[in-house]
Amino acid sequence: MLVYPDVRAAVAFLEAAFGFSERVRIGDAHRSQMRVGADGAVVVADDGGDRRAPSPDGYSHEIKLRVDDVDVAFARALEAGAVVHQEPVTHPYGERACVVEDPGGHRWELTRTVRDVDPAEWGGTVVAPW
């Protein structure tokens, strides 16, 4: 569940920026269940009670969103009003990624695997195989 000060604005942004689709609306501005891709889901909720949206003095999480094309997804997010934290870049560990922030302060890493890389090549250690 992601908390926003304006649920309806969050839904509009997530649809425009990332292609999510609203499935269930609970109240006018209380909550929304959104579909992500073929089998994912995100719940968007208001900042009532003890729930709080992110604040400008830091962040506590970054949501990793797998996309087909990082550059296309990045452009779409910017067009919808996202703020750039990291331009698209291809990392030595085989991921092409960027980081954007939505109007509610949530950070999203848009990412795609461009090649499989042995973790030893970039300083990682395999602890257990997938």
Residue 42, phi then psi, degrees to nearest 5: -135, 135
- Distance of alpha carbon 5 from alpha carbon 87, whole angstroms: 26
pLDDT tens per residue across span 88-115 = 999 999 999 999 999 999 999 999 999 9
By C-alpha distance, which of 33, 44, 43 is closest to 4? Answer: 44
CATH of domain 61-130: 3.10.180.10
The third-level CATH classification (topology) of the domain covering 1-48 is 3.30.720
Split at pLDDT 50, 70, 90, the class of 44 is confident
pLDDT at 39: 84
Domain boundaries, given as residue ranges, for the chain: 1-48, 61-130
pLDDT tens per residue across span 51-101 = 888 887 878 889 999 999 999 999 999 999 999 999 999 999 999 999 999
pLDDT at 78: 97
Give the distance from CA 23 to its chain's centroid: 18
